[in-house]
Structures are given as structure tokens and as C-alpha cells.
Structure 1
């Protein structure tokens, strides 16, 4: 049954992708034929996320034309789904009145996310054009540090009082439903906005009309502080399976909520940054695939230069042992194997450790236990691969000293790589550096240089000249 459901879900997903591509192709055809009424009719029934997908995949010169065809009541919601680079392109195309209306209709958290990516002078101009209430809400969020709960929260939520009856609560929800982020999570505050309880819409629906909110609410409330890091907010929502989590200030006053859709955006951005960092790339808010080629090269060159210097050191070690290589030429053929294997083992260990740190599954106080464990893993991996390499090397070369040299070196390098792959991320984390950004190049440097040194030291001990 489960397998059948998975197949159905995959088919539905494929069908949705085909539909989105069909909408994009038809929209482009209508616009190129200047059939604007046809394009407008096509976009009206389409889901906002699908409409945004279709618009942002049009040729750049058609973005503004397509967006201006949208009805006003849908344009801001579709705009929030667009890629940030397309959003900024459209801003340059809008007239002041169009821009003011669009920005004013956006939800505060999505508006702040957009403003974070715009030049400061444009941000000041846009803030001046907002209505008084929206400018106040936006300025509140911009006042918090980037990447914190305060910065990603929305101040649009439903708050209730303990003395409200269920009927009164429903009346308030109806009045606020169109201007709040969600009505599924409801928050109870006292006269000074201190958070005193929480209840769900289900609790409200199943309660008697004359019951008070104080009788049915939960007083044990999980909340986050405005200064909490956005990744920790995401873990809180994941841990408790929340649709939203309340955000309180230093005086425990409710100032906003972070919803699960905002957390998904956070997780995507943070994961992208970590993946880029593991590859030695500097993360950027801008879409990598739309960046200028010179900017891409500048951002990628830093760690490539580090690795270039590393290779110079490695080459120096090889050159210093040239006399040995001249006498036993077969030693040279195994250098790439040893260096690459060491890098692969180190990368595996560092990836596991960095992922554990990011998911808060590893505590730095347990560092020595973790390093020891990875060292033992490296020893076992080295033994398994070393035995295989010894046998293969002997079959090809019929030379036991060389075969043993390669096998023992591989065992030592695997142990070194696994240990450093665990130790370096934990070290950088304790020093306050990003372990994902710092670990990969340092592990490569460490393993390459020391691995070649180990190889030649073992060779001098075992191979007769």
C-alpha cells in the first residue's frame, strides 16, 4: 500500500511539473504574439507559486510585461514567490506608484527579506513610500539583527484574551483572518502583551461556545526569543512539529510569530550555504547561476589558491625524494591513489561531523570521544583498503617491499585523514569559525602534505636501494 501511494505521489509531482512547464510555454507564446488578453486569462486561475515559476523562467525582457498583466489582488502574493534577482529586476521596471502599491501589500516578513537584498538608498526610498502602519511593522523587523528570529518573524498574528468566550474568539478571528499570516495557531496575552497561553483552531472548534479561552488554552508555551539564531528557530519548530512558534522580547511580550514556510526558506538558505562552503565557495544571497562571470571567478578563486599552494608543497616533498623515485620508479604510480584516498576519507569524516554540528546532534564537550571514534573508523578503513592494495600491488609488480609500503602508507593516511576530518571541524567550531567553510581546504592541505611524507618515510624504511 505504501509503495502504491509513493508511486501516485511521484506521478502527481510529475504532472504538476508538466503543468507548470505548459503554463510557461503558453504564456511566452501569448506574450511574443502580443496576445495580452490571452496571457492574462491564462494566469488568473493558476496557483501563485506556479505563476511565479512561469514568469521567472520567461526571457528577462518579458518579466515586467507578464507581471503587469496580473490582477492586483494576486500580484503581491505572486511577487513573494519570485526569485530575488527577478524581484529586483522588476523593481527597476516599476513606476513609483506601482512599486508603492506592490511593496505595501506584501507581508512584513517577505518585505523585509526583499529589502535586505536591495541597495540602502533604495530601501530608504521604499520605506518612505509605505503607509504608516506598514512602515512601522517593517522598521520593527529591520531593527533586529540579521538571521535572528526577530528578523524573520511576522507581526501579523491572532492574539486573544483569557476572558474571551469561544464565540468572541471566533468573531475576532473572522475580523483578522484576511490580514494575519495564519489562524491555525492562536496566542493568548494579558493586558501588557505578555504571552500567557496558546491554543489551536482545533481546540477552539471542539470547545463549547460559552467556554472561556482561559479554560481551554495551554499554559505551557514553547517560545523563542527575538535574538535566537534562525537555525535554532528552525530546529525548535522541527522538534515540536509546530506550524508556527511565538517570538517574545526580553520582557516576555509577544512581538511576532515565525511560521513553518519561513523556516523552510531558512533551511534552504542555510543548507545551500553549507554545501557551497564544503566546496570552498563563498555563499551569496544572489542566484549563483545568474551572477556575473567575474564575480563567480573571484568568489571561487580564494580556496583554489590555497590548494594551489598546497600542491606546491606536495610537489616540493616529491622533489626532495627524487633520488628514491629514480631508483624505484614504481613508487610514483601510487602517489595519486594515496593522496586521493586520503582526501576522500577526510571528506567523509568532515561531512558527517559538520552535518552533526549543524543539526545540533554533536556537542563540542564530547569532542575527544568523537575524534577517537573517527580515528578507530580510519584505522579499520585503512586496514581493509590496505590489505586489498597490498595484494593488488603485488600482483602487478611482484615486489613485496613496494606492495607493503603502499598498503602501510594507505593505512596510516586513512587513519590520519579520518582523525583530522573529525578534529578540524570541531576545532574551528570551538574557535568561532564556520567549520564548513574552513575544514575542506585545511583537510586537503593537511592530508596531501603529510600523506606524501608518510609514504616516503615508509618507503625509505622498507624498500632497499
Structure 2
């Protein structure tokens, strides 16, 4: 399929969602409930969820109650957690049981993370014993781990079963399983000993046993593994699901690829926010209270404000130089701005490399050295251009010494910025801090303060002041 075809289909689906959202609101305003049912009948659950999310809060419950029970469960799982919480607070007792009891355990656990503890306790009491046990199992693990994103709805089999018996068992277990493409083979103590795919079952003779056709070299994760590491494994080996075992290597659940996509999106969003020195805490930024937004962003802005104060003090201390050659002040924004941009570029590629393990084979020393050379090359190119530009500025009166001071300073600052930008993420990771969140403010601090010192010291040396 060509890229243009994909783009057209994506655009068409976006237009469809917009059309459904606008028509849904119009029909609800007209109290045309039969029209709403007819409108939503051919629409996919994920698109219905987005349409409901776009409605005013007082209309969301009305639209949701017009769905049939089976469709309502699918739609509810696709809703944003804030909308899920809003709806569940308005549901009647039986509605809560009907919806939450039929949700997959991992989605239910995500929902419970967002609800008040008193509400969670009340809902848990109303669940069936099997669903309550499955949910408590997941809630018992730490957040952001494999145990927290796994589902216990999988198919496990004994190794003495034949292919024919296995296929018969799959037919009976499939309605309650999230995935039927992989079957997990366990021993009497539920230890994971192998894996069989649906393809394997189709290709082998009916009387062969699972022990003879299963893959014994199974890729698995433990319940306490970080969810981002789980996502990388599924991505690396192109799996649809990954088995999760406890400390005794007993099979307790599986992590499916759809959950991994959510994890990758969440982690990428957190990293992007962190690169801008914004703490997201996993919330939807544009639905967060503005006072909370300001509180999260002000910390690093205060750090940068203090940095700029220090930089200003350093510039003020160079009054004797600036009095004699005032044009030096004109190039300060250029130097520290360029240095800051180069440092940010270096930190961005290193942080991304750390996240994807692309630089794990190189090691910190080689990465920093590589970025230092890149910074030096950038400095030589930009320094040459800055020297020529500074020489022909009217303010410099063709002062070659001032022009060379600017060019040499830019080379030194570019190299320093690249070293800082590449080294700081490694340092912060070693200290157990988030490299993405910590690097940007510290790079700005280092480049601003040291860049100004380098510039004035080079200018003093070359001008003989």
C-alpha cells in the first residue's frame, strides 16, 4: 500500500470522527435519541469513544447509555480515564457492575488507579470473585511494571496434550482469553516450559503432543521488570505478546502488544515533556488544572532565572572590558544562544539513544568524545561565519581582534556545549535521576555561565586588556 493511500485513509477517518462528533452533539441537543443510535450503529468503538469525549459533560452519560451492553464495554475501555471516572460517578450500582465486571483486568486496574480509594473498594466488593481476584493480582504489583500492565486472561496448557486436544480446548477457552495466537505450556506447578503458536498447531499432525512441537527457548519477563523494558522486548522480537512470570518462574499473565503501544506513547510523551523541563506526572497536560501546570513548570524556570542572574553578575563584573570595547556586549546573546542550541541537540540525541539502547554498545566515553568532535566541527563552521559577519558589522569598525575573539569563543563554547549536552545525561542516569528532565536546565546553566567567562577571557587575552 502506498504512502499516499495511507494518508488519504487517515484523513478520511479523521473527517469521519469530526462528522460523528458534530452530528452526535446536534442530535442530543434535539433529543433525537433514535437518531443517535442509528448514527453510532456503524461506527467503531474507538471512534465512538472519541466522539463521546468531545461532548459536553452533561451529554456524555446520555450518549453512553444509548449503547448496547456489549458495545458499551468496548467503548468504555477506549475512553480517557477522566471521562471514565466522570461516568462511573454518575452510574447506578447495576451499571457499574455490568461495565466494570466485563472489562479486561488490566484495563480495570488502570481505571482503579485513577479513582478514589473509597470508590475502588466499593466496586471491588461488587465484582465477581474471579474478576476481583484477577484485579487484586494486578493491583498488587508496583506501578509501571510488567505486573501492572499484564492481563491474566491467557491460555495455558499441559505439555502432554495432543494438537487435536489443544485445538478443542482453545475453542472453549478463547471467549475468555485476550489472545489466542500464542498458547503457553506449563508443568504441574505452573512453571513456564514452552510456547506454541496457532500456526504451529495448524501445521502439525493432530496426534502430536505439545511437548514435541513447542518452542522451549521462551522469551519472558518477570513481574517487577519496568514497563518500558517490556515494550522494548516486544518491539525487538516482533511479538504479539510476552509471558510474565513471578520470582519462582510461574506463569501469571501476558503483556499484549496493544498495551505496549500505550506504554511507548506514554513514555515518549513523558520524555518530550521532560526535555522541555516540564513534569507531566502521566496526566493529560491539556486537561490539567492551570495552577497545577504553573506549579510543575515554575521550578525549573526559577532555576533558569537564578542562572540568568548569575550570568548578569558575571557580565557586570566585566565592566572595565565593556567600557573600553562596548561592541563586545553585542555578541553575548549570539554566543550563549548558539551554545545552548548545540548543547540541547547533543543532549536530545543522547537521551533518545539511552531510551532506545542505541548507544549501549558505545559507552559514555565514546559517545561524549564523538559529540565533542561534532561540537568542534560545528564550532569551526559557525566560528568562521561569525568572524566574517562580526568583521563587517558597522559597530566593530573592521576590528579584526574583536571578530577573532567572537569566532574563537564560538568554537570553544560549541565544543563545551556538546560535551556538557552528551555527558550530563549519563551523569544523571548514574545518580538515579531522570536524564531528560534534569539535562536541559543544567546545560543552559553551564553554557550561559561558562560561555560568558570563556568569551570575556578570550577577549581580554586577545585585546591585551
CA contact 2:342–2:418 (8 Å) conserved in 1: yes
In the other structure, the counterpart of 2:401 is 401
- Once residues 350 and 342 of structure 1 are traced to their aligned partners in structure 2, the CA distance between those partners, rounded to angstroms, is 12
In the other structure, the counterpart of 2:122 is 125
Task: Within 5 Å, give how 1:59-138 maps onto structure 2.
Answer: 59-138=56-135
CA contact 1:117–1:285 (8 Å) conserved in 2: no
How much has 1:464 moved relative to structure 2? 5.1
Q: 1:170 aligns with which of 153, 163, 167?
A: 167
How much has 1:76 moved relative to structure 2? 1.4
- Once residues 145 and 317 of structure 1 are traced to their aligned partners in structure 2, the CA distance between those partners, rounded to angstroms, is 47
TM-score, normalization by structure 1:
0.97
- Once residues 180 and 326 of structure 1 are traced to their aligned partners in structure 2, the CA distance between those partners, rounded to angstroms, is 78
- Once residues 80 and 186 of structure 2 are traced to their aligned partners in structure 1, the CA distance between those partners, rounded to angstroms, is 37
- Once residues 330 and 60 of structure 1 are traced to their aligned partners in structure 2, the CA distance between those partners, rounded to angstroms, is 60
CA contact 1:364–1:430 (8 Å) conserved in 2: no
- Once residues 324 and 56 of structure 2 are traced to their aligned partners in structure 1, the CA distance between those partners, rounded to angstroms, is 63
Deviations 1:164-209 (A, max 9, x none): 1222111111111111111011111112111111111111122222
- Once residues 266 and 258 of structure 2 are traced to their aligned partners in structure 1, the CA distance between those partners, rounded to angstroms, is 13
In the other structure, the counterpart of 2:451 is 451
CA contact 1:385–1:411 (8 Å) conserved in 2: yes
- Once residues 445 and 191 of structure 1 are traced to their aligned partners in structure 2, the CA distance between those partners, rounded to angstroms, is 60
Match status 1:462 vs 2:462: yes
In the other structure, the counterpart of 1:147 is 144
- Once residues 209 and 25 of structure 1 are traced to their aligned partners in structure 2, the CA distance between those partners, rounded to angstroms, is 54
Q: How many aligned residue pairs are there?
A: 462
Match status 1:263 vs 2:260: yes
- Once residues 225 and 355 of structure 2 are traced to their aligned partners in structure 1, the CA distance between those partners, rounded to angstroms, is 15
Match status 1:288 vs 2:285: yes
How much has 1:289 moved relative to structure 2? 0.6
- Once residues 431 and 383 of structure 2 are traced to their aligned partners in structure 1, the CA distance between those partners, rounded to angstroms, is 35
Partner secondary structure for residue 171 of structure 2: helix
Q: 1:214 aligns with which of 211, 223, 230?
A: 211
How much has 1:59 moved relative to structure 2? 1.9
Partner secondary structure for residue 105 of structure 1: coil
* Residues 201-210 or 433-442, more deviating: 201-210
CA RMSD across the alignment: 1.3
In the other structure, the counterpart of 1:333 is 330
In the other structure, the counterpart of 1:320 is 317
Q: 1:229 aligns with which of 217, 226, 229?
A: 226
In the other structure, the counterpart of 1:253 is 250
Deviations 1:427-455 (A, max 9, x none): 01111111111111011111101101111
Partner secondary structure for residue 258 of structure 1: strand
Match status 1:298 vs 2:295: yes
How much has 1:365 moved relative to structure 2? 8.3
Deviations 1:363-404 (A, max 9, x none): 398212221221111111111110111011112131101101
Q: 2:155 aligns with which of 146, 158, 181?
A: 158
TM-score, normalization by structure 2:
0.97
- Once residues 442 and 301 of structure 2 are traced to their aligned partners in structure 1, the CA distance between those partners, rounded to angstroms, is 12
Structure 1: where are the runs of 5+ without partners? Answer: none
- Once residues 440 and 231 of structure 1 are traced to their aligned partners in structure 2, the CA distance between those partners, rounded to angstroms, is 22
